Amino acid sequence: MAMDEAGGAPGAAKKFLYVNRKAPYGTIYALESLEVVLIGAAFEQDVQLAFLDDGVYQIVKNQSTDAIGAKNFSPTYKALGDYEVTKLYVEAEALEERGLTADDLMEITFEDEDDDWAEKPSINIVSRADMAKIMSEQDVILSF
């Protein structure tokens, strides 16, 4: 959808980007963002999530919080598909700087209603330049 259309017709879906830049558990940002995403999903907008800087740690696999007394909310990212949040952009440079690769991330998928419910990956690895471009194409950015 073109930006001017999105801004124009009332009721038209707007492009929302949640920018996640903090690792989980050290601060409350990651969990707060996830909760807002889940609540906001009810408004049926075009929702996308960006993971950059330490935010990539939010979706790494094998998180185990038993010994720090915090709830491990990483499994909840796998429910995003049920909430029709199916576009998760992860910055390649942010992974690389931290010694991570796409294989270190959880498998997050959605079932494509328009393709006979085929299971498809929600995670898209994008370059820093593409991430900047994605940000520049939004109607609304929510920063965490």
Positions in the binding site for other proteins (CB under 8 A): 3, 19, 21-22, 29, 35, 38-39, 41-42, 52-53, 71-73, 75-76, 78-79, 82-83, 128, 131-133, 135-136, 138-141, 143-144
**Shortest reach from residue 71's CB to other proteins, in Å:** 7
CB of 110 closer than 8 Å to CB of 123: no
Helix or strand (DSSP H, E) at 18: strand 15-20
**Torsions phi, psi for 77 (to 5 deg):** -60, -25
**Shortest reach from residue 37's CB to other proteins, in Å:** 10
**Shortest reach from residue 36's CB to other proteins, in Å:** 9
Distance between CA atoms of residues 89 and 71, nearest Å: 24
Nearest alpha-carbon partner for 80 in 126, 18, 29:
18
The position carrying tokens 């796998």 is 78
Nearer to other proteins, 45 or 76 (CB): 76
Nearer to other proteins, 46 or 139 (CB): 139
Distance between CA atoms of residues 84 and 16, nearest Å: 13
Nearer to other proteins, 65 or 101 (CB): 65
Q: Which two tokens stand for residue 144?
A: 């965490």
**Shortest reach from residue 9's CB to other proteins, in Å:** 17
Nearer to other proteins, 72 or 101 (CB): 72
